[in-house]
Amino acid sequence: MEFVTYETEGAVGIITINRPKALNALNSQVLDDLNEAFDSVDLGEIRALILTGAGEKSFVAGADIGEMSSLTKAEGEAFGKKGNDIFRKIETFPIPVIAAINGFALGGGCEIAMSCDIRLCSENAVFGQPEVGLGITPGFGGTQRLARIVGVGRAKEMIYGARNIKADDAYRIGLVNHVYPLEELIPAAKKMAAGIAKNAPIAVRNCKKAINEGLQVDMDQAIVIEEKLFGDCFESYDQKEGMAAFLEKRKVEAFLNK
Ligand code: DAK
């Protein structure tokens, strides 16, 4: 992979977009590399992922404007599909993905962060959807995910005005869960990921599915989705071990993802 690195620490995987000269902007190669990185995650071993950007200035400064500027309609559609496919892969990935946002998260950068389950950022982070200033709409789900995360009014204000916001405002409106000094961001993300990785993997996976899929339908259907995923945990080794540990007043020995 030319622009993406993947490393693991115990049950936590760290995917880093590594194109700092262009502030980690997403060109076709970065999108292909991201796809390959997610495909290479060993779901038998890894229980939570962190997605971050290389350097101290930028998470992802958007889709690559240079590459996009000369696209034909057909090429634009293909580029959009490539991006949307990988963003949906992240959103529906069977284990939680934490975005550790270390600077600019603009356009496609804000959108890829919103495809992750949880967003943590550094104090120098800047968020925005500047697309209307470039003559386009957000194309990697920004009009949809931002409104769902921060509410319609705030999303419209940011998108129509191409208005960037800083970390403290992103925290205030619920776009990020926590803000850290830059040097504390990755340690905090690792700590959160390790905390998730300790829990029963099938249950965590089913929670992600229940929350994501339940949000797309009405409450009657959503509750049925939850019921099925709840039921799916039973008869698993991890359900038996988790409940036995409680009843026997001991710690869980290990969740085995089965
Ligand atoms: N694309 C390409 N290169 C970029 C870039 C980007 N988005 N952002 C930064 N760079 C490059 C700069 O060109 C510069 O390269 P050199 O000139 O050194 O070769 C290098 O990174 C450093 O950037 P600056 O010199 O500009 O650094 P500053 O600190 O002065 O400014 C900045 C940082 C983040 C404020 C500034 O670089 C900036 O405004 N960047 C653009 C941010 C932006 O507008 N991003 C949104 C892009 S639009 C679609 C799907 C998705 C999308 C569209 C369509 N379809 C469905 C088809 C998504 C669109 C977007 O994301």
Percent of the residues in the chain that have a pLDDT greater than 70, as a whole number: 100
- Concerning whether 226 is annotated as a catalytic residue, the answer is no
**What per-residue confidence (pLDDT) applies to 189?**
98
- Can you name the residues that pair with 101 across neighbouring β-strands? 121
116 lines ligand 1 (CB under 6 A): no
φ/ψ bin of 141: left (φ > 0), alpha (ψ from -120 to 50), beta (otherwise) = left
- The pLDDT-based confidence of 54 (bands split at 50, 70, 90) is very high
CA-nearest residue for atom 1, ligand 1, is 64
Alpha-carbon distance of 97 to 196, in angstroms, equals 10
pLDDT digits (tens, 9 = 90+) for 67-92: 999 999 999 889 999 999 999 999 99
**Cβ 90 vs Cβ 115: under 8 Å:** yes
Place of tokens 């967003």: 119
Phi, psi of 100 (to 5 degrees): -105, 100
Q: Which two tokens stand for residue 228?
A: 């099925």
Cα 176 to ligand 1 centroid, rounded to whole Å: 22
Cα 68 to ligand 1 centroid, rounded to whole Å: 11
6 lines ligand 1 (CB under 6 A): no
List Cβ neighbours of 108 (8 Å cut-off, separation of 6 or more): 25, 26, 60, 62, 63, 83, 139, 140
**What per-residue confidence (pLDDT) applies to 251?**
96
Cα 215 to ligand 1 centroid, rounded to whole Å: 32
CA-nearest residue for atom 49, ligand 1, is 139
**What per-residue confidence (pLDDT) applies to 32?**
97
- pTM (two decimals): 0.97
Alpha-carbon distance of 115 to 101, in angstroms, equals 13
Span 184-199, average pLDDT: 98
- Concerning whether 67 is annotated as a catalytic residue, the answer is no
**What per-residue confidence (pLDDT) applies to 81?**
93
pLDDT digits (tens, 9 = 90+) for 214-242: 999 999 999 999 999 999 999 999 999 99
96 lines ligand 1 (CB under 6 A): no
Catalytic residue among 45, 111, 184, 227: 111
Alpha-carbon distance of 3 to 178, in angstroms, equals 27
**What per-residue confidence (pLDDT) applies to 10?**
97
pLDDT digits (tens, 9 = 90+) for 100-150: 999 999 999 999 999 999 999 999 999 999 999 999 999 899 999 999 999
Catalytic residue among 131, 183, 226, 248: 131
* H or E element, residue 101: strand 97-101
